[in-house]
Structure 1
């Protein structure tokens, strides 16, 4: 039975998507504590600007934004072939495992550090490895709560918008439902994480929250548009892997419809 299950192409595809989805989300959370300058990355001069009365703004972003757009691409692909129930399931799995990871980070930070290890990198400019370790993995609880809440809510929004668009367009305009659902869900994601982590957790002003939200979202919006061809490339590769008939049946089942000439694909 296990051999048949693992040889089933739709099942193998779902396992691959789920594994990448969870790993990508966890890595994004782990590297999210680093900030980088987008202007410097692109070799451009850094210019500050004012938005909603908040001065000194620039494109300083968390390293997590390098990976989060891929998460929404994967959401759209899973939604296309497996439906909203599958997206919700892997989203819950991801949130559960990320929560587990942060608990283990806390345990690792709490166990007594060896005295030799604490000073082992002093020559490299790190006088206390315990403080360095805790600084990297010890994100504030408000940030963790904001990030996980934003992730879960934005995934649900993405699924909902995606299917509303697909019900109107059918199989046409893949770019519209993929990009449209992503740009809406990314706005929700950007606002919720900043609101919980910094408005509630650090008493930021509404002007600062909205200004930084818009800066972060403008980057995510551009990346969502740039990644649209990736959706077409992945769908092309998936159709080649599954075969046209199987892919068509899966898409119909994802929309709650049965292909007229075939048996429906069992729900995952």
Structure 2
């Protein structure tokens, strides 16, 4: 699911949302915090080493996305599908740059998010899950947002818009994490702990 949400966010990132004529954030910002939420649950239950493996698997999945969609660009299409072909090219010609930005941002953001979450857990144990999810995301989103916006949109948007996008995306992601991601993380982690502990008891 983490990989799925991340791939969706990359494709949605092609569309930039503008309010009042100012480019604020890409549409992928809406789904991206849920990928972080799943990463938090993964780290909480199985630790940093397992989370790191999934992070690199997601990295590989994104590379496959770029290769596959790029192959689709060069394959021939019938003339009566010209409009659809042009739409496909419009979206997926842009995706490689988005994904390149997202890959670097993802590695920096997710790895720092998982590492900080583990460090906070060492201090708090199982208590204060909200502090771990929000605190780790607050750090991870700095790496993720700054790297993503600059690499993905530098040269295509004014510098003032880039700064606006960084600030807006950071706080939008953090707000979605706090309002939606953290409550879902509580439920998912509770379910996973119960499931894992039951499985371990049965195997033991």
Please give the range of the TM-score, normalised by the shorter of the 2 chains: 0.7 to 0.9
Greater helix share, structure number: 2
Q: Distance in 2 between the 1:101 and 1:196 partners?
A: 18
Question: Is the partner of 1:95 in helix, strand or coil?
Answer: helix
Q: Within the alignment, does 1:212 sit opposite 2:131 as a pair? A: no
Query: What is residue 124 of structure 1 aligned with on the other side?
Result: none
CA distance in 2, matches of 1:160, 1:87: 10
Aligned position for 2:140: 185
> Using CA pairs below 8 Å that are at least 6 residues apart, which structure has the higher relative contact order?
2
- Which of 83, 100, 123 aligns to 2:47? It is 83
CA distance in 1: counterparts of 2:126 and 2:134, whole angstroms: 15
Secondary structure, in 3 states, of the residue corresponding to 2:76?
A: coil
Kept in 1, the 8 Å contact 2:22–2:161? The answer is no
Q: TM-score normalized by structure 2?
A: 0.88
Aligned to 2:153: 198
Task: Measure, in 2, the Cα distance between the counterparts of 1:81 and 1:140.
Answer: 33
Which structure 1 residue ranges, 5 or more long, are not aligned?
A: 1-19, 38-45, 49-55, 119-127, 248-262, 264-268
**Greater C-alpha radius of gyration:** 1
Confirm or deny that 1:32 pairs with 2:1: no
Does structure 2 conserve the Cα–Cα contact (< 8 Å) formed by 1:75 and 1:155? yes
- CA drift of 1:27 comes to 1.9
Question: TM-score normalised to the size of structure 1?
Answer: 0.68
RMSD of Structure 2 on Structure 1 (CA):
2.3
Q: 5 Å matches for 1:234-253?
A: 234-243=188-197, 246=200
1:35 and 1:61 in contact (8 A); partners too: yes
Q: 1:203 to 1:137 in 2, by over 3 A?
A: closer
Show the counterpart of 1:99: 63
Unaligned runs of 5+ in 2: none
